[in-house]
Chains A and B, each alone.
Chain A
Amino acid sequence: MQKISIEIVDIIDTSVVYDELSDAASGGICVFLGTVREFTNNETVVSLEFESYKMMALKEMDKIANEALAKWPLNKVVIRHAVGVKKVQEAVVVIGVSAAHRNECFEACRFLIDTLKATVPIWKKEMFKNKSVWVSAHP
């Protein structure tokens, strides 16, 4: 595998990420999985619907992966986001890094998910029983 793997997919297969990040030079792998939560402000979420501006989202994901590589000595980076309708407990995003030591793994993983949420053009709609809301759209 290349050092950086970036994808927007319909379904996230959580079983492959260990093999993707496993690396002889790495003493640690850190993975963050974002999943669909059943409740928002005590209201029951039926599903989440994700939409992306794919061309730009891939570019922005590549930028933050390269920023992480410049900040920390990482061996491998995976950033994968799902689009479409996702049910409660389904995985919607996987961020993973491998490095010689755990400290850079934790720091880089945190940086990648936080920056993704701030800059990558992907939108999430929360579907409740009687309404739907684009997350973060309004102050």
Chain B
Amino acid sequence: MVVFLFGIAKDIVGKSELDLSAFERKLNSVEELICFMNDSYPEFSKLSSLAVAVNGEYASNGVLLDSNDEIALIPPVSGG
């Protein structure tokens, strides 16, 4: 399972995609993914917000992750 990274999330991790299959911890939900990111990269917990998109839609904590989903971290947006 790959997570796409944008903006400051890309800077924190140091790349634009993170392959989660390289890690032992199994992530079943959006909430678990956010906890994992905060644990693995403490800089994430300093952000104003951190959302997750599943297949191009904002996903709440309880949404379950499937290996076929397109997953992205959405740090605070700042368009315009």
Contact = CB atoms under 8 A, between A and B. Distances in A.
A81 B29 CA distance: 32
B48 A139 contact: yes
Contacts of A124: 78-80
A41 B76 CA distance: 20
Classify the secondary structure of A's interface with B: mixed
B46 interface: yes
Contacts of B63: none
Given A92-B80, A120-B77, A121-B74, A138 B56 contact: no
Interface in B24-80: 46-48, 53, 56-58, 70, 72, 74-80
Interface residues of B, number: 21
B11 A55 contact: no
B6 A137 contact: no
A134 B57 contact: no
Interface of B: 4, 6-8, 11, 46-48, 53, 56-58, 70, 72, 74-80
22 contacts: A34-B80, A51-B6, A53-B72, A53-B74, A55-B56, A56-B53, A92-B80, A116-B79, A119-B77, A120-B77, A121-B72, A121-B74, A122-B77, A122-B78, A122-B80, A123-B75, A123-B78, A134-B75, A134-B76, A136-B48, A137-B75, A138-B46
